[in-house]
Amino acid sequence: MANEAAVMIENLILTIRGQRVMLDSDLARIYRVTTGQLNQALKRNSKRFPADFAFQLTRQELAALISQSVISKTGRGGRQTPPRVFTEHGAIMLASVLNSPLAIEASVRVVRAFVYLREQLASNKKIAQKFAELENRLDSQDESIATLFEAIRQLLEPAEPARREIGFHVKEQAYSYRVKQTTNR
């Protein structure tokens, strides 16, 4: 059950500016408050939310989210201002600001979702690292196999016949010469 909630919340986590974040409207639904109440709590406690906890999207980021159908278009009853997004730390801080038992319970689910996502990413990195190691091992084995095949090819190629030398070969009879022994005087 807890894992299912984490997976459901994980689907609401987006990557913006290189950070994993959640939209204010999604957090409001999870904490069972209105988006207005959530943003009002944020404004009242703005010192608790530095830029690495929560930030407002730019028009370009908003346009990208609209094109991906993550949020509705402004002309069709959607938002008039770009939404705020909260990092994992911002979502936890928001639960403490809202200070209701339901918000605290929901913050635990949000934290579990972020942790689950982090574990999945770490597991993917481990798999990629093992894959790279296997690839390197195969590359070295490929080189060894190529060297072996080259040696076999050289053994299978017929040896070039010995070339005949040009010219006459004269075989002389070996004479045994006698060597005079001299005595030392």
Q: pLDDT tens digits, residue range 5-42?
A: 656 777 788 888 888 888 888 888 888 888 888 888 88
Sign of CA dihedral 168, 169, 173, 176: positive
Q: What are the chain's domains?
A: 2-116 (3.10.260)
Model confidence at 2, pLDDT cuts 50, 70, 90, reads low
pLDDT confidence of residue 11: 79
Q: What are phi and psi of 183, to 5 degrees?
A: -100, 145
- Sorted by sequence, the CB contacts under 8 Å of residue 103 that are 6+ apart come out as 31, 32, 33, 94, 95
Q: What mean pLDDT is reported for the chain?
A: 78
Average pLDDT of the segment spanning 89-97: 83
Residue 88 has pLDDT above 60, yes or no: yes
44-86, pLDDT tens digit by residue? 888 888 888 899 888 888 888 777 766 655 555 566 778 899 9
Closest by CA position to 38, among listed 53, 26, 24, 55: 24
96-106, pLDDT tens digit by residue? 788 777 777 77
How many helices (H) and strands (E) in the chain?
A: 6, 4
Tell whether pTM > 0.75.
no
Model confidence at 173, pLDDT cuts 50, 70, 90, reads confident
SS3 10: helix
H/E element, 58? none
107-145, pLDDT tens digit by residue? 777 777 888 877 887 777 777 777 778 777 777 777 777
Percent of the chain's residues with pLDDT above 90: 0
pLDDT confidence of residue 76: 58
Integer Cα distance of 152 and 146 in angstroms = 10
56 forms beta bridges with 84
Closest by CA position to 53, among listed 108, 92, 2, 9: 92
